[in-house]
A and B are shown apart, each in its own frame.
Chain A
């Protein structure tokens, strides 16, 4: 089945630093990928839609200058949390849409970010 690889699976960083998270579709091309954030015991909240070759579309309330998204190829999208602060500590999950497979969505394994 389709696989989405997300890396790193966990990261600890100091406040003020930037962290990059990668999301790769391993055996299909994904023109669209989605980035979600999940706080403990809460639901997944859509942050942005990443479109290959164009600017990402951010959901209301998500700072585009803080959460930089780049989707430079059909198999890779990256989310960079810039100048991270403790309140950015969360579980970040990507998903990719496989248009060759009934547009099914496949999730990455998630990245647990802890900002000290």
Chain B
């Protein structure tokens, strides 16, 4: 079977740094993606890691370790607008996305 685990919720203050971890157990792994979703909206692509290492895009970074079946999303200089749900998703064969259960991030003033 396929499964992904990530924390259900995280709370942090503005300006802080937060890391959301994701472990996975899947077959046919091609890479790990991260998506942001605000209430009532569609998922927005944040990052994709196909190889081990860190990918940086502005305030967001994502890391992957294929040998550990582990990745994380790092959000720096948190802003109130970053309050949302964050999903890790394994990219499987044929471009299928298998999503984790999502982490609800609350950013407090």
Contact = CB atoms under 8 A, between A and B. Distances in A.
Interface of A: 6, 32, 34, 36, 42-46, 49, 93, 95, 97, 103-110, 112
B71 interface: no
Contact of A49 (B40, B41, B42, B94): B94
Chain B, interface SS category: mixed
Interface residues of B, number: 18
Interface in B78-104: 87, 94-102
B41 A105 contact: no
Contact of A107 (B40, B42, B102): B42
B99 A103 contact: no
Given A108-B42, A109-B42, A43 B96 contact: no
Interface in B24-72: 33, 40-45, 48
Contact of B101 (A6, A42, A112): A42
A95 B97 contact: yes
B97 A34 contact: yes
Nearest to A95: B97
Contact of B96 (A42, A46, A109): A46
B41 to A, nearest CB: 7
B43 A97 contact: no
Nearest to A110: B42
B49 to A, nearest CB: 13
A44 B94 contact: no
Contacts of A45: 99
B96 A34 contact: yes
